[in-house]
Amino acid sequence: MREEARRAHVDANVILRLLLGEPEDQAHSSKAIFDRASRAELTAVIHPVVCAEVIYVLTSPRLAAYPRRQIADVLRGFFALEGVEVVDLDVVLKALRQFEETNLDWVDCLLLAYSPEIPVYTFDQAMVAAGGVHPNHAD
C-alpha cells in the first residue's frame, strides 16, 4: 500500500515565483515543489487567503497589472495541477467566476461565495448589487 503524500502549505510568494518566473532561482525552486507534487511526493495545500495575496499582486498596477480574466484562467489551471489541493475549492472557483465578471475585490467575491444562505452585511453598493445586504435592510 502506498503511503499518503506529505502535505505542505504553500505561501503566495512560492506561487507568484512560479507564475511570474522571477527571480529565476526562486522560480526554479518553486517549480521543483510543484514537480514533486505532480509525482505524488507532496500535496501542495493552498488556502483562500493565499489566493487573496496572489490576486492582489497580479492585479496591482504597480506590480503586475494582469487582466482579471487572465488571472482567473491561470489560477483555474494552476488549481487543477496534479498534487495541488485548494482548501474550499468549490467556493474559490465560484469566487473566481464572480471576480472575473465584476469589479468586486477578491475578498468581497470570496465572502459572497462562502455565504450563499447567510447574508453578507455591507455598505458597498456594488457588493449589495451582487448579493450582499445593506445593514439598513437587515432583517
Q: Map out the domains of the chain with their CATH numbers.
A: 6-137 (3.40.50)
List strands edge to edge, sheet with 42-46.
6-9, 42-46, 84-86
Q: How far apart are the first and last CA of the chain?
A: 54
Residue 123 reports pLDDT greater than 80: yes
Name the pTM for this structure.
0.86
The alpha carbons of the chain give a radius of gyration, in whole angstroms, of 17
For residue range 15-44, list pLDDT tens digits in order. 999 999 999 999 999 999 999 999 999 999
Burial annotation 91-103 (CB, 10 A radius, 16+ → b, else e): bbebbbebbbebe
57, pLDDT greater than 70 = yes
55-58, long-range: CB < 8 A, 24+ apart: 55/99, 55/106, 56/106, 57/12, 57/16, 58/16, 58/19
pLDDT for res 86: 97
Phi/psi class of residue 120: alpha, beta or left (left: φ > 0; alpha: ψ in -120 to 50)?
A: beta
**Helix (H, G, I), strand (E, B), or coil: what is residue 124?**
coil
> What is the reported pLDDT for 1?
34
Cβ-based neighbours of 100, under 8 Å, separated by 6 or more: 68, 69, 71, 72
Residue 4: what pLDDT? 58
When pLDDT is cut at 50, 70 and 90, the band that residue 5 belongs to is low
Helix (H, G, I), strand (E, B) or coil at 126: helix
As beta bridge partners, residue 85 has: 45
Q: How far apart are CA 98 and CA 109, in angstroms?
A: 6
